[in-house]
């Protein structure tokens, strides 16, 4: 339900990680619900955790030192999430301190006297950690395998770094350049910078107008004593909230909290209060940005009340009605009329009055003036066309679906509680949900008329107005009084305790084959909220039959969810929302994929709809034209982006042996644009007719369902859906490519990208794969403590994001080693040297026993945690059906990992990796960096 802008600048800033793809989890979604806590308050050494309130299974306690504690039990997952939120963010920064809250977040991972190597301590326990900084708060969290020892360690560690973190000058010097590198990454995106400029113009006095990343000058010059003072001022128990969510013993956890956080003293000096209020805006404002780029962007900002205000539920619905695709008013007015290639809306729901933001993106042939006129008219005249029941109910259904799905994931909810607590009270999560449910069309029309006024807009110039029509903010809300007596709703049903080990997964999985050829794997178990995850893979075509059809195939897949012969695109979206289903359906040149997450009660209807999407797409000409416009805008915007150009250059070099037209050919950006521009809807329709079918398919279902019902329904839906054409897998062919340096100039881009790649003769069932997996985990995986991260980020401060991957082939002996980093163009030489030295050091000297044992422990924990995610497990089971494997493959691989010695790993890596064969690609503004290096340096002003 919380709305976040798609622009990275305005998303909460967080540390970058270099975890394997299979270990990553989706970003936290909006909202939460759980079973009531049953533990009685415990006592330790004269202090007591006093219960304060309980809502829908989440219970709040309070320590005498002021720490707020939330317990959120969820026994269905073998993990526990520990999340500490400090109520300090970029809003609290003073003059010269911009970016300080985020910079401090980075230094909080540099250690304490008892935990000197934080990344190592987290990795060896299999933790998935991070920290994020936002306008009103900063939070730190880790999700670990749920053991009493891990919970106690995490609580002890978080209590320790609350008051004992080093915050040292040496760490500031190295991390400042890393954060500056992150700052420069944001500088590459004109849309993000436009939003930053617009918000800074919209907020004249309040610090919400300052971006969380801060000013470059502040990052480069902040004194360590000011950062230390900021830490001591705000990092204290009476300015923090602890959330423990997942599987844990409540009584023991309460005791552990008292023994760790309970020992911390409440500082004698009171917390500083913020009091700056943004005055009512008294006229239109405008800002113009001129930078290198490829597509024009419009952003229009309007002030709205604080997030706890009753009006915000209607503001949330208004945002959805205006910005949704394809039903939103902006989409219909701008995109369908082809005045813009994209349009949307989002809001900032904050502790103090926030903002609602409308945006549009235009291609070169779409005049900005015409789009601006339509954007402002659609927004500011919105109340003149009263909002309908259909619009409002659709928006509410979508928002409430997101809330319910998030509430069924305790890990996501535990982290999302940070946002709501910072808004005023964690219980607002539930109250806001209730308010959204009660919103009427008249409420939406009223808030549109109240806040969407030209005098409240930032996009324009000052015009004298005899009678200003201003949007005054309502009086501040007394959140504590408003929340008195609020109880919420009944807690959601709990699931079973499930062991995700390969042996248990195999013991619980049923496999078989439908009459039409679809192979299936079914794992039925009780889940939180009775949720089910489904993965369906389809395969078609031969190398010869698919030649030259990549663009038709791409369109054929991307049009599937844009309408069927029975339902329009909007009707499909509405139906899936009402069924509370998260569904993705796509198709490509060699096959299609379907992923579903939904409650048990709606599974049958969702499967019926998905079958209709796959088998009966309408290929509507209007939708096809809109899709083409969106895809062209997306690709055209990448013409000057370093990451896109560098990756294309690398893959075209490594896979140059595939001729144009071959299914594995890597096209240039211009070729991709031309293919998308020239493909017709008839070609997409013809591809679907010629290739789509389920003769070669795999279906996996994990969660709360009845296997016999799924088998019967799948047989009915897909058993008779024959593939029209023959199928033979398109093989990959290994080519030994000579390493070479490639440089790509991208003018006016502050951040550069580096990629290094070497093809490998490697398959997933190769006896060398376990050693290479573990070796790469130590080289460029893990959490900030890999060799590359330790040297290039932690020590040298050259890169915000750095790491490496080794990917084996699954059926062909064709793998790939790749390393990557983002960096400032002027640091290109230092980065390349550090990358070469660290890889070479591993190949020559290997790893220590201690380093490898800790890494192996963490890697095995990551793999176990990945299997604990139902969606991940469903995808793995379906892919293994295709590969002819069971999870005994995983068990054997992990047994081999356990036997490895350091010299085994070194020899294996040295046998496969050869730096002289590595192709290195760098893309950035290197000419500009050279000019800047030659420019005279301005001396800093005297203090």
45 vs 344: CA distance, rounded Å: 55
Q: Could you give the CA distance from residue 118 to residue 111 in angstroms, rounded to a whole number?
A: 5
Q: What is the mean pLDDT of the chain?
A: 92
- Asked whether residue 730 carries a pLDDT value surpassing 50, the answer given is yes
Cα 835 to Cα 796: distance, rounded to the nearest angstrom: 11
pLDDT at 940: 42
Poorest-confidence range of 15-24, 514-523, 585-594?
A: 15-24
List pLDDT tens digits, range 183-227: 988 888 888 888 998 999 999 999 999 999 999 999 999 999 999
The percentage of residues in the chain with a pLDDT greater than 90, rounded to a whole number, is: 84
For residue 489, the model assigns a pLDDT of 87
Beta bridge partners of 742: 921
Do residues 663 and 728 make contact, with C-beta atoms less than 8 angstroms apart?
A: no
Average pLDDT over residues 450-468: 69
Residue 47 binned pLDDT confidence (cut-offs 50, 70, 90): low
Give tens-digit pLDDT for 893-914.
Answer: 999 999 999 999 999 999 999 9
Task: Read off the pLDDT of residues 308-346 as tens digits, 9 standing for 90 and up.
Answer: 999 999 999 999 999 999 999 999 999 999 999 999 999
Question: Residue 351's closest CA among 399, 299, 312?
Answer: 312
Tokens 């983002």 belong to which residue? 822
Beta bridge partners of 84: 140, 242
**Dihedral angle sign, alpha carbons of residues 498, 499, 501, 503:** negative
The pTM for the full model equals 0.88
- Tally of CA atoms within 13 A in the half-sphere of 255 that contains its CB: 7
Structure tokens at 50: 């006093």
- Point out the least confidently predicted range of 44-58, 380-394, 595-609, 900-914: 44-58
741-745 β-sheet, strand order: 741-745, 919-924, 752-760, 815-823, 802-807
Least confident stretch, 84-88, 475-479, 540-544, 772-776: 475-479
Task: Please state the rounded mean pLDDT for residues 481-493.
Answer: 87
Tell me the mean pLDDT in the region 856-867. 95
More confident position, 59 or 6: 59
Integer Cα distance of 834 and 789 in angstroms: 11
Q: Assess whether pLDDT exceeds 60 at residue 17.
A: no
pLDDT number for residue 936: 63
């Amino acid at each position: 339900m919380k709305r976040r802008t798609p622009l990275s600048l305005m998303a909460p800033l967080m540390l970058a990680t270099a975890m394997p793809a299979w270990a990553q989890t989706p970003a936290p979604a909006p909202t939460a619900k759980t079973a009531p806590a049953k533990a009685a308050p415990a006592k330790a050494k004269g202090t007591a955790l006093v219960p304060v309130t309980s809502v829908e299974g989440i219970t709040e306690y309070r320590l005498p030192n002021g720490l707020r504690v939330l317990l959120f039990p969820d026994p269905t997952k073998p993990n526990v999430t520990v999340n500490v939120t400090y109520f300090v963010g970029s809003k609290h920064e003073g003059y010269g301190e911009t970016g300080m809250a985020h910079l401090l977040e980075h230094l909080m991972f540099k250690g304490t006297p008892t935990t000197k190597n934080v990344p190592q301590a987290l990795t060896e326990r299999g933790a998935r950690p991070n920290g994020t900084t936002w306008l009103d708060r900063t939070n730190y969290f880790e999700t670990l395998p749920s053991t009493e020892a891990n919970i106690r360690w995490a609580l002890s560690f978080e209590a320790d770094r609350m008051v004992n973190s080093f915050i040292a000058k040496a760490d500031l010097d190295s991390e400042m350049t890393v954060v500056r590198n992150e700052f420069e990454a944001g500088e590459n995106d004109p849309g993000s910078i436009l939003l930053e400029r617009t918000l800074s113009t919209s907020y004249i006095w309040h610090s919400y107008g300052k971006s969380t990343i801060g000013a470059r000058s502040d990052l480069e010059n902040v004194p360590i004593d000011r950062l230390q003072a900021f830490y001591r001022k705000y990092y204290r128990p009476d300015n923090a909230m602890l959330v423990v969510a997942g599987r844990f013993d409540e009584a023991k956890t309460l005791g552990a909290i008292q023994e760790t956080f309970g020992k911390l003293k409440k500082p004698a000096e009171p917390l500083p209060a913020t009091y700056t209020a943004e005055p009512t805006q008294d006229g239109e404002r405008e800002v113009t940005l001129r930078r290198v780029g490829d597509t024009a962007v419009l952003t229009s900002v309007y002030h709205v009340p604080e997030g706890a205000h009753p009006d915000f539920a209607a503001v949330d619905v208004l945002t959805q009605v205006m910005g949704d695709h394809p039903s939103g008013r902006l989409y219909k007015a701008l995109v369908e009329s082809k005045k813009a290639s994209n349009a949307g809306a989002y809001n900032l729901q904050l502790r103090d009055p926030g903002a609602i933001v409308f945006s549009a993106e235009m291609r070169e042939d779409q005049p900005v003036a015409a789009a601006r006129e339509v954007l402002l008219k659609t927004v500011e005249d919105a109340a003149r066309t009263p909002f309908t029941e259909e619009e409002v109910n659709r928006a509410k259904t979508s928002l409430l679906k997101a809330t319910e799905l998030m509430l069924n994931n305790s890990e996501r909810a535990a982290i999302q509680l940070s946002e709501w607590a910072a808004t005023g009270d964690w219980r607002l999560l539930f109250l806001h949900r209730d308010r959204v449910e009660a919103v009427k069309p008249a409420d939406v029309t009223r808030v549109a008329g109240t806040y969407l006024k030209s005098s409240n807009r930032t996009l324009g110039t000052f015009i004298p107005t005899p009678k200003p029509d201003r949007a005054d903010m309502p009086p501040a809300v007394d959140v504590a009084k408003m929340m008195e007596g609020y109880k919420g709703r009944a807690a959601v049903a709990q699931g079973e305790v499930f062991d995700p080990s390969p042996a248990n997964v195999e013991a619980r999985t049923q496999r078989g084959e439908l009459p039409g050829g679809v192979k299936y794997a079914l794992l039925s178990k009780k889940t939180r909220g009775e949720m089910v995850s489904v993965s369906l893979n389809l395969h078609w075509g031969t190398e010869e039959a698919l030649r030259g059809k990549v663009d038709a195939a791409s369109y054929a897949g991307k049009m599937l969810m844009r309408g069927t012969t029975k339902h329009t695109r909007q009707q499909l979206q509405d139906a899936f929302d009402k069924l509370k289903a998260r569904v993705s359906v796509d198709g490509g040149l060699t096959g299609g994929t379907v992923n579903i997450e939904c409650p048990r009660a709606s599974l049958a209807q969702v499967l019926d709809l998905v079958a209709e999407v796959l088998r009966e797409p309408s290929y509507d000409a209007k939708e096809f034209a809109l899709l083409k416009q969106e895809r062209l805008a997306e690709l055209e915007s990448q013409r000057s982006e370093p990451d896109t150009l560098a990756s294309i250059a690398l893959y075209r070099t490594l896979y140059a042996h595939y001729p144009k037209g071959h299914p594995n050919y890597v096209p240039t950006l211009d070729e991709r644009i031309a293919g998308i521009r020239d493909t017709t809807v008839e070609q997409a329709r013809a591809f679907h007719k010629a290739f789509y079918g389920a003769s070669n398919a795999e279906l996996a279902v994990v969660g709360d369902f009845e296997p016999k019902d799924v088998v019967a329904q799948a047989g009915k839906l897909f058993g008779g859906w024959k593939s029209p054409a023959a199928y033979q897998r398109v093989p990959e062919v290994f080519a030994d490519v000579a390493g070479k340096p490639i440089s790509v100039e991208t003018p006016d881009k502050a951040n550069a990208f580096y990629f290094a790649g070497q093809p490998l003769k490697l398959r997933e069932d190769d006896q060398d794969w376990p050693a290479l997996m573990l070796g790469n985990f130590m080289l460029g995986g893990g959490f900030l403590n890999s060799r590359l991260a330790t040297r290039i980020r932690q020590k040298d401060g050259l890169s915000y994001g750095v790491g490496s991957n080794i990917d084996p082939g699954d059926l062909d002996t064709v793998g790939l080693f790749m390393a990557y980093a983002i960096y400032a163009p002027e640091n290109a030489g230092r980065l390349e040297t550090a990358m070469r030295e660290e890889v070479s050091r591993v190949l020559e000297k290997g790893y220590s026993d201690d380093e490898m044992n800790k890494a192996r422990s963490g890697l095995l924990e990551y793999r176990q945690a990945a299997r604990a995610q139902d969606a991940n497990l469903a995808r793995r089971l379906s892919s293994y059906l295709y590969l002819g494997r069971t999870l005994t493959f995983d068990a054997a691989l992990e047994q081999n990992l356990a036997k490895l010695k350091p010299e085994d790993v070194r020899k294996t890596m040295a046998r496969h990796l050869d730096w002289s064969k590595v192709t290195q690609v760098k893309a950035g503004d290197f000419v500009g960096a050279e000019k800047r290096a030659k420019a005279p340096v301005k001396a800093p002003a005297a203090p």
